[in-house]
Amino acid sequence: MKALFATADIKRTVLRQWMMLGLILAGLAAVIGGNLYYDYYRAIATERDRLLAQVRVIDQNLDRQLEATYLGLSRLIKDIPRWRQGKGYTEAATARLVALEEVMPGVRTLTVIDADGIVRLSNRSELVGVDTSSRDYFRKARSDSNAVRMAVTPPFKTVLGNFVINLIQVVRGPQGEFNGIVAAALEPAYFSTLMNSVRYAPDMWSALAHGDGQLFLMVPERPALAGTSLAKPGSFFSRHVNSGLVETVMQGTVYSTGESRMMAQRTIHPEGVPIDSPLVVAVSRDLGAIFAPWWSRLKVQVGVYLFIVMASILGLGLWQKGARRYAEKAEAARLDLAEIHQRFERMAGTVPCVLYDYESDADGHGRFQYLSARCNELLELSADELLDDMGRFWNLVHPADVAHLRDEEAAAQREGRAFLAEVRLIVPSGRQKWVQISALPHVVPLQAAALPTAWSGFILDISERKAAEVSVVQREQQLRTLVASMNDLVVLVDTSGRISEFHWPQDWRGSRPDPDSLMGCDYAAVLPPEVASVFTSAIGALMAGGPPWSIDLTYPLAGQDRRLHATFSALSDGGSWPRGFLCVARDMTDRVAMEDELRRLATTDFLTGVANRRSFVEQMASEVARIRRFGQPGALLMLDIDHFKGVNDRLGHAAGDEVLRHLAQLAVDQLRQVDMFGRLGGEEFGILLPGTDTAGAMEFAERFRRMVEASPAMTTRGPVTFTVSIGVARLDPADTDPDAALARADAGLYKAKESGRNRVEQSD
């Protein structure tokens, strides 16, 4: 295969691929270069336009300023003769200058100087009397023969220490002789604000210079450059002035700062204002800042281009290398395929099913293309017999299953899907076998055309599985019969929490939904919340590997809640994870009710319904222990119905029983919830008063005695009036058992009877 790649055709193909890649990369480089070239000159043009727009803004503002100053000075010259006619004109003239200066923005100082150079009037009083005859601007004005023109002085430092430009007009006498000057000093701060307003980038600066080249103002300020002469050969200023153009844009190195910048300059010479020297305004930007975005795009595009070049070269090289490897692997695959085919044949003889290839068409005609050797064992026919005649196979299919198998095959072919069918075969020996026939399509027809479809699949003997399934069904039926005979609640839940089996006890069936309606439902959604909560806890414990779980619970039903004893168990098929959970709950309602009744009978007097002697004495023992522990008071009352034997003898035992029940009801109505009333025997009763001292017990006993005396019992023999004798005893923490307190209370009762009955007495 390597020799194949060494041929001339392969070499030419490889060379053409590299040449094509080179042309594509060259074209891409040309596109990127053209785009960068266009962006570069577009950046220059855009910045030129923006800088020119800014110098025009400054020019418009300075034109208005110079024009306003010229008019103001002209008006001032006309007013001077009128001021000098009156007395004390100095004060009025000074006030006029101050007012005029306030309405002329950008003007700092207004002065009127006589023919000798002495300042006669000024809005700044400190300048009056100053001799300016030696100043260049005064000498130049005195020698100027133009009576109309306004002089613009080069920047200079005033006597007040300010760096200014003066705007001067000459004052002429009646005969045209020189009679002094009026001057307006421009305010640098005003122009700084104006020039700062046009800066739209932090690297910008703007400057204002006199027409002779002296720098007046620079924003941001650079005090060291104030007054510098810009009129140097080759400087931007000189080139602008020499061009004769009103505005120019240049780029290169600035003479005054040594910076590389793009600068727009404009000569300021307002129309209608005769000035002897113009002003020049300049706005500039750093070239590095202007081209910074362009340089960023350049780096990105060059980086991307280099990445594409490297990736393309690497990709093509790898592809060509891969192509060589692919050819080598293709040959190796061909050899491997032959070996795999041989292995498949050996493996097909070992699997417990018949492997086959099958072709069918839309009309239902088909034939086997391949059958493994197992067909002799399973179908009792050789592969050659079935390959020659497909009808032999259909003859094996049970008549009841033929239609099902053909319908499944047709549906699978029509829908382009796998098919799976379980049918019965009657093999030549006469035995019946259950088989599973499964196949996957090789080619799925895209249109309803009679195109053959190839299938690959297997025929598996499932006779044993079918027999096992029948056995499982029988066992499940037996289990259902067993469960149906149980009078227990039986619930089977799978691992997803869904009910798979549900059985109500026989006497519940009419009270709850039909079990079939609960199948497949989440137990948490259909069981009462309190019961579902128990299921959740039990299943969690069983999933954690715990033993069977037992618990007593209440199942709410309409009419009567049922008391259950439930046992939960995990169902396992031998694996490490449960396959379900079984709950068997025995109905304990009747048993619990019987136990409750027995407990009640053991602690309650059957006649009066109050505590019997045993229950009363046990409660006394608990109260004595509490008094011993906490030191709180407690009292015991023992009472007896006076002459009760006479009631029984005179009215009968039934009336006597009614008297006893009446007394018990009176006591229950009067006692607190913490108190206790019990029958100690016959007509003798006890009252336990926790938290009550002796005085309180005596008071209650007397009140109860009077109430009994005033409340006759209504019996079937008529009203029966009766009285009681009461003995009162304190519960002593030193008592070791209730008998001591009972003895003291009995002594008090005996004392009450001996004292005439219907009394309350305390034991000694």
Which residues are designated catalytic? 683
Write out the two tokens for 641. 């119905």
End-to-end Cα spacing for the chain: 129
CA separation for the pair 364, 260 (Å, rounded): 90
740: exposed, middle or buried (C-beta count within 10 Å: 0-12, 13-18, 19+)? middle
What is the chain's length?
A: 764
Task: Name the token pair of 137.
Answer: 């601007």
Phi then psi for 394, rounded to 5 degrees? -65, -30
DSSP 667-679: HHHHS-SS-EEEE
Burial of 61 (0-12, 13-18, 19+ CB in 10 A): buried
Count other Cβ atoms within 10 Å, centred on residue 484. 10
Q: Which run of H or of E encompasses 494?
A: strand 488-494
Cα 506 to Cα 352, 483, 493, 592: the distances in Å are: 50, 11, 21, 19
Catalogue the E-assigned strands of 484-536.
Answer: 488-494, 499-503
Short-list 619, 757, 624, 636, CA closest to 700: 636
* Other C-beta atoms lying within 10 Å of the C-beta of residue 737: 11
550 vs 554: CA distance, rounded Å: 13
Q: How many CB atoms lie within 10 A of CB 273?
A: 17
Is the preceding omega at residue 712 within 30 degrees of 0, hence cis? no
What gap in Å lies between CA 371 and CA 382, rounded to an integer?
9
Tokens 């130049």 locate to 140
Look at strands 549-555 and 713-715 and give their pairing. unpaired
DSSP H or E segment with residue 54: helix 8-85
Between CA 244 and CA 623 the distance in angstroms is 125
Distance of CA 291 to the CA centre of its chain: 44
